Structure 1
Amino acid sequence: MPEMRFLIRWPDGSPESCYSPSLVVKDYLTPGASYTLDQFVALSRAALTTASARVEARYGRPCSLAQGQLASIEAKARRFAEISDPRVTVDAFEE
């Protein structure tokens, strides 16, 4: 199963490299696009849940790395919830 990373910038400008066990992230996020924090979290949740389900269908168990990446995104997003109009930018995909 092809893996990928999606490179993002949080509202404070800090970069992060996020992991997905599937290229399905390309169906949800676009390089160069800026998303509201809530939108980014929702799209990441959908993408990583789908990716984990694909791993489960193929290997019989969900992907713990995708689940961990989602938990990390959700936790970090909470840090920015109080700022005005927080946005996350997707910088690039790495395959």
Structure 2
Amino acid sequence: MANTPQAKKRIRRNDRRATINHSRVSRIRTFIKAVESALTTGDQAAASAALKAAQPEIARGVARGVIHKNTAARKFSRLTKRVAALS
């Protein structure tokens, strides 16, 4: 258990940040799922539009520090390759 005021404050801060970071990661996953659902239907226009919307969200996750930059690059690459394969 935290004994010092600083440690208690750190616990409170970590709880707040965990909630915020969870919502950010969840938002990114939602955008990625939109791209994947458009890919499964085979709609190339919808998939490219969803990818265009997902890319800034993933990049924002990197800027906020909730996902690693290499993870984001891998997701960009794989999704782009799958969307390009539809055409």
RCO (CA 8 Å, sep 6+): is it higher in 1 or 2?
Answer: 1
Question: Would you tell me which structure has more helix in proportion to its own residues?
Answer: 2
Question: Would you tell me which structure has more strand in proportion to its own residues?
Answer: 1
TM-score normalised by the chain length of structure 2:
0.44
TM-score normalised by the chain length of structure 1:
0.42
